[in-house]
Structure 1
Amino acid sequence: MFTLPSQSTRTFTKRVLQWSRIKLVYQRITLTKYTTLFFFLSLINCLVLIILQSIAFADNQAASEIISSFLVQGNITETKIVYLSGDDLYECSNIPGREEANCSLLVSGNGNGKQVRSESGHYSQPSAELTEYSSQRHHKEHAKTVMDSNGQVDGLLLDNGQFLDQTCLQSLIWLNEVIRDSMAEDIVTLTFQVWLLLLSFVTILNESLPHLGSSIAGHVLVTGWAGYRLNNTVKLQRHYQTLIVHQACGGADFLGGWWEVRMGHTIPILVFNTVALVAATYLALRLYKVYAQQSFNRVGASSQIHNIYKLVLVLSVCVQLGGFFAIASTAMWLDKASSGTIKSVAMHLALYRAVFVAMGALELPWAILGWTSVRHENRRQFIVFAGISLLLLASSSGIFASPCKFFFYSSSLYRFIFQTWPFFATMTITSYLLIVLTSILGIWCRANFGRGLPEFRTSDAYVIYLSSLLHFFCLSFSSFFQS
């Protein structure tokens, strides 16, 4: 007769399984001095950059609050799109590129834009009513709201006598949008650092070449973006000083020393990313020799199997990177289209959200199926993977230039965000190229199904998963009898 295990037996079994998992993790981390260094480098890199990126986010949030306070006080509802084209600021009542956009030059970098105030830059003895407001500038000055005879806000009067009219305040919409975009970039970059840490951890745990390659590729991308952002900060400051401070607002500096603070926090991010890239690359080359020898020894002596396995490894790297960038770019578009001026002018926004949410929901299964279907040569899973790939490629291609009038509004909105947000454009292009490359490599791998790869598939990579499943089964087993 079957006897139920005692409580002490179940507890002991759980502890043994937990200890075996901890011991296995410890053994993988301390396998060589390079695996140990790689693990601690990844951990320290993640923690430091999370702190630095959080500080950068706080800087952008502080600047956004300053600019937003002036927009609120000036009764600027952000119902018009203000964007930078070349060295000029344009104002549109709708998405640029549409017939109803009604775009006009707001401020010219050459000084040919609208005049904001008198040549003296002061507003003396105004006949309109002055209203006190609690908005503060970066350097602690106050502003008063100037009302016209109809009770509408005419502009703001600073306590130094300087007057800011509607053109000046409208130009702040562009600055506020740029800062909001920077905050979104901070969040994505911060998430990417956590993702890199997880990749590095799985690399050591599973002795996985695809994860190792994805980790180094991720370091290259994030370092390249850190360099671009430093350069972009210099350009953005120049546009701010030229278009807003000197042209539109007659010397009124809303952010004061904020630019020096931002630069002081951007440079360390670039330096630390560069150091981490160099160190991680060196350690990765050392780990590659160990992992490659183990992997290809498991695969076997056949040169054909070697080539197929290398192809699968490249596909795995593309799937991992493509999955993150596809999900991140979709999330960024949804956030951009659901806030700020875009939200107030976008047509059929609910439909766009539904489409992109559906795409985002498919991107994670796509990445998982791309990883598992080829390694297991599962034909049914591959058909689903190929179908999702085709759908993602079609939607990504059609959103840029679709001849169908039904998609005209969505494509014009997507292209406008793409053209005015470099980080989003970078993420989108990277995602698209990885999806294309993954699809091609997937078809190539599918053509090699049935040639013996599953029999030589690395088994150690599944030790952790098997241990986890066994642990979960034992916990469920114990819970069943406890209930």
Structure 2
Amino acid sequence: MQLAGRLYPAWSLMRERLRHRNLLIFLLLHVTTSAALFILSILSVETNAEASHFLRHIIQTANLSSVVFYNPDSGRSGDWRNAPALIVDSDDVISRAKDDGIICNDDGKKCRGVGEARHTHEKQSQIENSNNSTTSVSTGPSTSTMTITMTTQGNTIITRVLIVPTLTVMQGEAITTQVMLNEQGNLMTTETSPTIVPSTFLSSTKSAITTVMAPSVAAPTSTATATVAAKEEKPEKEDGDEEEEEEDEDDDESVDSSDDSDDSSDSDDDEVEDQAKPKTLKMAKEDFVRNWRRDVILSGHERGGKVVGVNIAQLPGSSGIETVSQQCAIHYGWAINSLDNLVREETVLATFFMWIMGLAIVGLLNESMPHLLALLVSLLISSIWTANGLRLSFKFLGNFQSTANTYCEGINVLPMYLDKRIGFQSTVLGLSLLTMIASAWLCWKIRDHFGWQPGKTFQRIGASTKINRIYKLVLALSILLQVDAFVLVTFFALFLDQISNGPASYFMHNCKAFKAIYSLLIIALFPWLYLGWTSIRKEQRKRFNVFIGLSACIVGGWALSFANKVFRIVFTTWAFFTAMGSLAAGLTIITVILALIRRWTFGKGLADFLYLEEIHERPTEGFDEKASLPVPMPQNHLPTFSTAFGPGPAPPPRQMFPAMPVYLTATRVSNTPSWTAGDDARRL
């Protein structure tokens, strides 16, 4: 009953507000456009997620999950469905030896080294040289030579080779691969260094996918596919769901078992061959990408009993079966991470449009112009970022096509995705601009209905121009608080997701501390917004001091994050995160500065005038009308008159009260009255 009693006055207030035509048009505009923008953003989220899922299927089918979705912290292969992808780029070289991995921006071109000074590649090289069956001629931190004795069909072949430790770059881990060259400089084979890093690897050179074996008497030359840390699998079950669970468990167990088998890779060839056995991929129907990827069929492309690529049938825009090699699939890591970031960005924008609709509804109910001005600022921010996102889409299109031309023989596995992405973003941009222009025009029309002309309002209640200036400062603070609150929550939530589910979770060692700090900051934003809103309007000094303290904690936590290298790299490589962080810092600093200026104006009378304005707008607030009660009247009704009449005839009303005498004074030569002398120089 209490809830119904509260909802009825709210509904009555809404009906009263909507009697004004411009207010009704304003509400319908924002409800319609916000719902449309929200739906478009959700469709864009689904499109990005489907494209990322399709690339993950390609990597899984190419038998590269243990490389691209490998977690170097735990030494296990991550879940290929949702694990962030490690970037394995054969062209990028880490600038310093102490960096153990890289993280790239959305287009995969700007990469930064990350990691601690472990120098794992040097340790791996030394252990590899000590475990070889023959003594190396020269030892060094980078290259060494060794002699290989091979027995083939009764013939003994002695070959001197050069061992080149090649750094395999992954996002979060660096794995050293021993590349063996014979005396003629031809590639013989590649091996990973044992003990330090599990055997999930891929050579960082383009020739790692196909290697040339050493010449023998029976076969002068022969080709074979390079082993890519294949995972052992258990017998499969008929049920699709149970089969996928078994595959995930087998992924973890195979990576654990590979640590022990790598220590004796030179002496036990059987174990290496067991690891290199191809994995027959079986996927349930529900794991295939739905909607526009429903008809695409993926199958492993085998050569010599080993999976070397992926066959893609019924790809849109292709007449036959397209074959994607492992060398091509391994370069989809940056695209997967970019698509995952786009899912986060579009989710934020969808929430942002719902928040804008909430500002419109609250502003109409409370007749609050600060809410409507914050709405216009929010629409401007969303339009600017959507335009920038459209620019990044074309950039992503060019870089993805460049990757396809360089490593994939021009095969574009996402022919329809980019058109859909650009179409959604163009529609969102156009609708946002139209909504912003229409909202600005309607806000100008309804400003008189809201009584938002500060000069006239304060003249009505007797305020001075000084109070008017202070009131404008309060309006600016109210707008900044509302926009800054959403931006801060978004910024903190994005980094929490990065260190929980993103690439930063791979190599950031103090994740728990940052999770605790950022969770507390998000919780502190709610009292921060409430205390700031009430203290600057009602001049409550204690609440204002708490507000300033929380603001200092927020700015301090934001600045302290830059002490972490991973945070700095994510901040400089992810454009959306950079924009949100910069906007949050700028708005918070401006809010604190204006709040301190407002603190100096406490006690100047603005709180009293705001109270009088509120009473003027709600003259009956706080008074409850009571039902009329019957009053007993006397039996003998006596006439009542407005004046007492004496004896004789009653005079007319205009003669009942005599006129007041008017006294005129002489005009002095000087127009300046002498009030001290008691002269009355007022003219009647």
| TM beyond 0.5 | yes
Letter in 2 for 1:193: F
Residue of structure 2 aligned with 1:46, choices 34, 37, 42: 34
Q: Contact 1:43–1:197 (CA<8 Å) still a contact in 2?
A: yes
Alpha-carbon offset, residue 274 of structure 1: 1.3
Tell me the distance in 2 between the aligned counterparts of 1:85 and 1:353.
23
Tell me the distance in 2 between the aligned counterparts of 1:161 and 1:283.
55
Does residue 260 (structure 1) correspond to residue 248 (structure 2)? The answer is no
Letter in 1 for 2:46: A
Q: 1:264 to 1:99 in 2, by over 3 A?
A: same
Letter in 1 for 2:520: A
Alpha-carbon offset, residue 182 of structure 1: 0.7
Tell me the distance in 2 between the aligned counterparts of 1:261 and 1:90.
26
Does residue 143 (structure 1) correspond to residue 143 (structure 2)? The answer is no
**Deviates most, 318-327 or 359-368:** 359-368
Q: Contact 2:106–2:337 (CA<8 Å) still a contact in 1?
A: no
Letter in 2 for 1:459: E
Q: 1:131 to 1:146 in 2, by over 3 A?
A: farther
Q: 1:17 to 1:258 in 2, by over 3 A?
A: closer
Q: Contact 1:63–1:258 (CA<8 Å) still a contact in 2?
A: yes
SS in 2 for 1:232: helix
SS in 1 for 2:325: strand
Aligned to 2:8: 19
Superposed, 1:177-188 pairs within 5 Å as 177-188=337-348
SS in 2 for 1:449: coil
CA deviation profile, 1:193-251 (whole Å, cap 9, x unmatched):
111011111111111121111000000001111111111111011111112x1223333
CA deviation profile, 1:244-278 (whole Å, cap 9, x unmatched):
x1223333323232111222222111111111111
Does residue 28 (structure 1) correspond to residue 20 (structure 2)? The answer is no
Alpha-carbon offset, residue 129 of structure 1: 5.3
SS in 1 for 2:309: strand
Q: Contact 1:142–1:158 (CA<8 Å) still a contact in 2?
A: yes
Alpha-carbon offset, residue 29 of structure 1: 2.7
Aligned to 2:518: 356
Aligned to 2:378: 218
Tell me the distance in 2 between the aligned counterparts of 1:418 and 1:202.
34
Q: Contact 1:322–1:367 (CA<8 Å) still a contact in 2?
A: no
CA deviation profile, 1:290-324 (whole Å, cap 9, x unmatched):
43546554444311110111000000000000001
Residue of structure 1 aligned with 2:71, choices 64, 79, 92: 79
Aligned to 2:551: 389
Tell me the distance in 2 between the aligned counterparts of 1:279 and 1:89.
40
Aligned to 1:277: 436
Greater radius of gyration (CA): 2
Tell me the distance in 2 between the aligned counterparts of 1:20 and 1:261.
46
Letter in 2 for 1:143: S
Q: Contact 2:487–2:580 (CA<8 Å) still a contact in 1?
A: yes
Does residue 424 (structure 1) correspond to residue 444 (structure 2)? The answer is no
Tell me the distance in 1 between the aligned counterparts of 2:605 and 2:579.
39
Alpha-carbon offset, residue 148 of structure 1: 9.4
Superposed, 1:319-468 pairs within 5 Å as 319-400=481-562, 402=563, 411-457=564-610, 458-459=613-614
Tell me the distance in 1 between the aligned counterparts of 2:205 and 2:615.
68
Aligned to 2:206: 115
Aligned-pair identity (%): 22
SS in 2 for 1:222: helix
Aligned to 1:408: none
Q: 1:280 to 1:114 in 2, by over 3 A?
A: farther
Alpha-carbon offset, residue 25 of structure 1: 1.4
Tell me the distance in 2 between the aligned counterparts of 1:341 and 1:293.
49
Tell me the distance in 1 between the aligned counterparts of 2:59 and 2:310.
13
Aligned to 1:291: 450
Letter in 1 for 2:556: A
Letter in 2 for 1:84: C
The alignment yields a C-alpha RMSD, in angstroms, of 3.4
Alpha-carbon offset, residue 168 of structure 1: 3.3
SS in 2 for 1:399: helix
Tell me the distance in 1 between the aligned counterparts of 2:483 and 2:48.
27
Q: Contact 1:334–1:356 (CA<8 Å) still a contact in 2?
A: yes
Does residue 133 (structure 1) correspond to residue 288 (structure 2)? The answer is no
Residue of structure 2 aligned with 1:164, choices 312, 315, 325: 325
Aligned to 1:56: 44
Alpha-carbon offset, residue 146 of structure 1: 5.5
How many residues are treated as equivalent by the alignment? 430
CA deviation profile, 1:34-61 (whole Å, cap 9, x unmatched):
2121111111111111111111111011
Letter in 2 for 1:253: N
Tell me the distance in 1 between the aligned counterparts of 2:449 and 2:396.
46
Tell me the distance in 1 between the aligned counterparts of 2:60 and 2:528.
44
Letter in 2 for 1:96: V
Alpha-carbon offset, residue 332 of structure 1: 0.8
Q: Contact 1:207–1:461 (CA<8 Å) still a contact in 2?
A: no
Aligned to 1:6: none
Q: Contact 1:298–1:456 (CA<8 Å) still a contact in 2?
A: no
Aligned to 2:358: 198
Aligned to 2:668: none
Unaligned runs of 5+ in 1: 1-10, 107-112, 119-123, 403-410, 471-483
Tell me the distance in 1 between the aligned counterparts of 2:45 and 2:9.
41
Ranked by relative contact order (alpha carbons within 8 Å, sequence separation 6 or more), the top structure is 1
Alpha-carbon offset, residue 188 of structure 1: 0.7
Superposed, 1:231-242 pairs within 5 Å as 231-242=391-402
Alpha-carbon offset, residue 289 of structure 1: 4.4
Tell me the distance in 2 between the aligned counterparts of 1:302 and 1:174.
61
Q: Contact 2:489–2:522 (CA<8 Å) still a contact in 1?
A: yes
Q: Contact 1:131–1:146 (CA<8 Å) still a contact in 2?
A: no
Question: What's the TM-score, normalizing by structure 2?
Answer: 0.57
Tell me the distance in 1 between the aligned counterparts of 2:578 and 2:617.
37
Alpha-carbon offset, residue 17 of structure 1: 5.5
SS in 2 for 1:162: strand
CA deviation profile, 1:318-374 (whole Å, cap 9, x unmatched):
000000100111001101111133212211111111111111111221111111111
Aligned to 1:473: none
Tell me the distance in 2 between the aligned counterparts of 1:325 and 1:15.
34
Tell me the distance in 1 between the aligned counterparts of 2:9 and 2:413.
59
Tell me the distance in 2 between the aligned counterparts of 1:223 and 1:438.
23
Tell me the distance in 2 between the aligned counterparts of 1:99 and 1:429.
30
Superposed, 1:63-74 pairs within 5 Å as 63-73=51-61, 74=64
Question: What's the TM-score, normalizing by structure 1?
Answer: 0.80
SS in 2 for 1:142: strand
Q: 1:256 to 1:17 in 2, by over 3 A?
A: closer
Q: 1:177 to 1:450 in 2, by over 3 A?
A: same
Q: 1:233 to 1:85 in 2, by over 3 A?
A: closer
The structure with the largest helix share of the pair is 1
Residue of structure 2 aligned with 1:317, choices 479, 491, 494: 479
Letter in 1 for 2:69: T
Unaligned runs of 5+ in 2: 73-85, 88-102, 122-166, 171-203, 211-222, 227-275, 313-320, 625-684
SS in 1 for 2:114: coil
